[in-house]
Structure 1
């Protein structure tokens, strides 16, 4: 019987052996394929955590909860020891100031100095800003429009539509705001989420325009599955499937050791995600509300992040 992770390893093998070599914005270079789909069952508390290497699921969970707050500054992430967004503001700080500060010192200064964090820790209107505060405009007269103080909360509207009109084909939220892409530290990779209700079962589809299969995918697929579980709980449905779709799916050329080591391993196990509490709203979950059981991954495989 096949393991849910086999489809991931098959795609990794195919990209590494058949993918086109591409030059990318980071200068590192990739092997890539265009267009891929995977499906993961979420029934019976199943969660598609990779088992051929350790995925630090609490880091992914904290990031997802951070997105839902609409925050775009890394300070609150760093307070929780989540460092996955540091590379971009650190690179900007070094480039603009000429200060060769270490990552550790930069992060500590972000945590300790609110003014420094406001200047150097903000990522621009990434993810959460679009999810819960998409810019909205009102008529100011004389052909002019002004931005309203409160934007459009796509997540709030999604929950309302899932509850009131489950058969709708418009259960979507979007991060790709063309007007603000140039203000973002990194345009959204996991850009479009769509949801579907049938016979009391909620499934979700995630489209990623760009997927770092070696490093990012494990976080993305866990976080999307976690979100489906949260929405299902809030709206009174059973969880169904996560359908994952990738546009440019790639492996970085400097990840050879990661790829070869991971492909040498066999997936095993059946981890479960339990939600320990039902908060009043989708925005009230805390990290303590999530528990992963029966997760026994093989050792973590480190690899450099391309910025």
Structure 2
């Protein structure tokens, strides 16, 4: 690896750019990480336990600058989570394909048809019956966030599923408004009983909110993180969710605290890693929320705008399914 920049080699500045936390972690994983055989068969280098912090004051947002991050795509995904939907159809309709590979892989296996992703996505959008059959991901993120299943006694030792599950998001909003000092402001995605029904068990699994001095912070625990591709979306969504919650609860944004369990880089991402580590972070993105909706569930993509974001070029890399 040649011409790799480090935080120490950066030009002196009044404050260390937050992105050095990310680049330093990437370098440590690539150079010192434990090489492992993973679920995808691609292989990774991994470390266990990492933390990145970002101060949201003044509208600042943690968008990586050493490569372009498509923040609108990440935002559309977050808004989709808040609907509780588990079918990719509405995402594909918006041109968001980040969840398409999992149902596409299942379709190819079950049908023996080498269909291209673009054609599969087109059929998902245009054919409701096809989408119902092949586009559902199982009870992933949003389902657990806003409709965690609850069962009640039905007599004779039987149980039935209650029509409405637990809306964790709504409960946390009310808790933040009425009992801000609580240590129970938690949204959990890891429903053990339903993991086998999910296309992919939740990676960003646990969110905990914290109020201090009128500022709202959120810590995310992510059990598994693809640092090369997934992290950029995860960090953005964590910060955006924190700002949305803060607005709904009349609080100022505090910190976004990301904590990773198994944090890894795929072995076939060498070109991405070396290119990104050769770049220097610069600039700062800021978020403007155009309006305050009536509830956390009423935000639209048009409500969000980003200024000051001038990233370096996108770096392509394959996704491991």
Give the TM-score of the pair, scaled to structure 2: 0.95
- Distance in 2, matches of 1:149 and 1:112, equals 30
Paired positions, count:
307
Q: Tell me what 1:41 maps to.
A: 55
Question: Is 2:183 aligned against 1:169?
Answer: yes
Q: Tell me what 1:273 maps to.
A: 287
**Aligned-pair distance for 1:137?**
1.2
Give runs of aligned pairs for residues 208-223 of structure 1, distance below 5 A: 208-223=222-237
- Distance in 2, matches of 1:143 and 1:101, equals 47
Any unmatched runs of 5+ in structure 2? 1-14
Q: 2:261 aligns with which of 244, 247, 250?
A: 247
Q: Tell me what 1:126 maps to.
A: 140
Q: Tell me what 1:104 maps to.
A: 118
Q: Tell me what 1:188 maps to.
A: 202
RMSD: 0.5
- Distance in 1, matches of 2:292 and 2:174, equals 17
- Distance in 1, matches of 2:32 and 2:282, equals 26
**Aligned-pair distance for 1:144?**
2.0
Q: 2:160 aligns with which of 133, 138, 146?
A: 146
Q: Tell me what 2:104 maps to.
A: 90
**Aligned-pair distance for 1:143?**
2.4
SS across alignment from 1:25: coil
Q: 2:35 aligns with which of 11, 15, 21?
A: 21
Question: Is 2:254 aligned against 1:231?
Answer: no
Runs of 4+ in structure 1 displaced over 6 angstroms? none
Provide, for residues 83-104 of structure 1, a one-character-per-residue CA deviation record: whole Å limited to 9, x for no partner.
0001000000000000111111
**Aligned-pair distance for 1:149?**
1.1
SS across alignment from 1:225: helix
**Aligned-pair distance for 1:138?**
1.4
- Distance in 1, matches of 2:239 and 2:288, equals 12
Q: 1:60 aligns with which of 56, 59, 74?
A: 74
Q: 1:9 aligns with which of 6, 13, 23?
A: 23
- Distance in 2, matches of 1:103 and 1:80, equals 15
- Distance in 2, matches of 1:51 and 1:140, equals 55
Provide, for residues 6-43 of structure 1, a one-character-per-residue CA deviation record: whole Å limited to 9, x for no partner.
00000000000000000001000000000001110000
Give the TM-score of the pair, scaled to structure 1: 0.99
- Distance in 2, matches of 1:144 and 1:116, equals 34
SS across alignment from 1:211: strand
Provide, for residues 171-219 of structure 1, a one-character-per-residue CA deviation record: whole Å limited to 9, x for no partner.
0010000000000000000000000001111000000000000000000
Provide, for residues 262-282 of structure 1, a one-character-per-residue CA deviation record: whole Å limited to 9, x for no partner.
000000001101111000000
- Distance in 2, matches of 1:85 and 1:16, equals 26
**Aligned-pair distance for 1:141?**
1.7
- Distance in 2, matches of 1:198 and 1:40, equals 16
Q: Tell me what 2:213 maps to.
A: 199
SS across alignment from 1:159: helix
**Aligned-pair distance for 1:142?**
2.2
**Aligned-pair distance for 1:66?**
0.1
